[in-house]
């Protein structure tokens, strides 16, 4: 089939639509993930979602359901562990390694078609069915509505936890809610790019966007835009050339990220670098502890 013939196919329309839904959700949630420095937690949620999907395969259940249940459970646990946005690195790493071990074990028990497991790892957007698309849309609406409702406290707690807590924002509640949204988002993104490449939709676009603007709402919208360009561009390219869609998607989003790093605001801000370093050089004590005493 030629490119234009492919474009007329129903399954391609479904794939492009699913791509839009997933890109919007990933770009939006990814913004908060990047602001809070939680890339590793996202990685853990997606890999443990895989464990849930593997369990579902063994039990003969729908792997997407397993994926959702697995990542939600892990998201809730990590939400409690990562209150205040500061990752507990080692704890997440330990959970991740154990869960993945369980996933490998479950997969070895699975006697069915290995393609289902492979498509979880590497994604298969062109295999999205109409029923799947429906579920994608429902989950996306839940995530986006929740994000709109919690935008301000979530932003406050993410950028200024001390100030937010003093104003009555529950850091724990916000952290758990965000991780649940992250869980739903990765469960969506896995269906396009697979477990191993979730970060390319949830982290890279937002990381690029925060390089381009310091306005929080604008950065969030740009993150969505970049995720859209990468996803739709990747799907279209994979129609032209017979290589995996997820490779194209990660290639495009990484290219945008590199361009943003080179040309973005951070490089324009380099002339301010000195004062930043000076102010970061730590606390300059002026007196001894316990001394309401003289300045130097």
Partner 1 sequence: MTNDSRSVVEIRGGSLRYGDRTLWETLDLSVAPGEFLAVLGPNGVGKTSLLRVLLGLTKLSEGVVEVLGQPPRRGSSAVGYIPQQRAFDSGLPLRGRDLVALGLDGHRWGLRRASSVRRSLVGSMITTVRAESYADKPLGLLSGGERQRLRVAQALVSDPAILLCDEPLLSLDLGYQRAIVTLLDTRRADRRTGVIFVTHEINPILPVVDRVLYLAPDSWAVGTPDRVLTTETLSRLYGTPVDVLRVRGRIIVVGAPDEPDSALGSAGHAHEHDPFRTGS
Of 254, 223, 255, 226, the C-alpha closest to 31 is 223
Q: How far is the CB of 166 from partner 1 (least distance, A)?
A: 4
Q: How far is the CB of 24 from partner 1 (least distance, A)?
A: 17
Is residue 153 within the footprint of partner 1 (CB under 8 A)?
yes
Candidate list 3, 10, 60, 293; residue touching partner 1; CB under 8 A: 293
Total residues at the site for partner 1 (CB under 8 A)?
52
Is residue 159 within the footprint of partner 1 (CB under 8 A)?
yes
CA separation for the pair 234, 280 (Å, rounded): 41
Candidate list 53, 56, 67, 150; residue touching partner 1; CB under 8 A: 150
Report 9-38 residues binding partner 1 (CB under 8 A): 31, 35
Of 190, 196, 253, the C-alpha closest to 63 is 190
Candidate list 219, 227, 239, 252; residue touching partner 1; CB under 8 A: 219
Listed ranges 5-13, 122-130, 142-150, 226-234: which one lies at the site for partner 1 (CB under 8 A): 142-150
Listed ranges 149-157, 183-191, 197-205, 238-246: which one lies at the site for partner 1 (CB under 8 A): 149-157
Is residue 151 within the footprint of partner 1 (CB under 8 A)?
yes
Candidate list 28, 169, 201, 224; residue touching partner 1; CB under 8 A: 169
Is residue 269 within the footprint of partner 1 (CB under 8 A)?
yes
Contacts with partner 1, residue ranges (CB under 8 A) = 31, 35, 148-153, 155-156, 159-160, 162-169, 209-211, 213-216, 219, 265-266, 269, 272, 275-276, 278-280, 282-296
């Amino acid at each position: 089939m030629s490119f234009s013939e492919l474009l007329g196919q129903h399954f391609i329309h479904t794939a492009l639509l699913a791509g839009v839904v997933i890109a919007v959700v990933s770009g939006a949630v990814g913004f908060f993930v990047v602001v809070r420095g939680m890339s590793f937690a996202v990685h853990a949620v997606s890999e443990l979602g895989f464990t849930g999907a593997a369990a579902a395969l063994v039990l003969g259940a729908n792997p997407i359901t397993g994926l959702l249940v697995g990542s939600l459970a892990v998201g809730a646990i990590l939400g409690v562990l990562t209150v205040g946005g500061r990752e507990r690195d080692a704890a997440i790493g330990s959970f991740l390694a154990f869960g993945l071990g369980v996933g490998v074990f479950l997969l070895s028990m699975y006697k069915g078609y290995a393609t289902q497991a492979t498509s979880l790892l590497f994604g298969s957007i062109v295999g999205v069915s109409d029923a799947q698309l429906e579920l994608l849309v429902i989950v996306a609406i839940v995530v986006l509505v929740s994000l709109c409702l919690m935008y301000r406290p979530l932003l406050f707690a993410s950028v200024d936890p001390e100030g937010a807590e003093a104003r009555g924002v529950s850091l724990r509640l916000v952290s758990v809610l965000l991780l649940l949204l992250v869980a739903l988002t990765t469960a969506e993104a896995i269906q396009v790019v697979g477990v191993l490449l979730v970060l390319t939709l949830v982290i890279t676009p937002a990381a690029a966007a925060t390089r381009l603007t310091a306005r929080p709402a604008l950065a969030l919208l740009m993150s969505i835009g970049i995720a859209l360009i990468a996803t739709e561009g990747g799907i279209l390219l994979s129609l032209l050339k017979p290589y995996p869609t997820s490779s194209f998607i990660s290639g495009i989003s990484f290219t945008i990220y590199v361009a943003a790093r080179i040309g973005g605001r951070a490089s324009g801000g380099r002339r301010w670098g000195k004062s930043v370093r000076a102010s970061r050089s730590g606390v300059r004590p002026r007196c001894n502890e316990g001394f309401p005493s003289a300045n130097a």
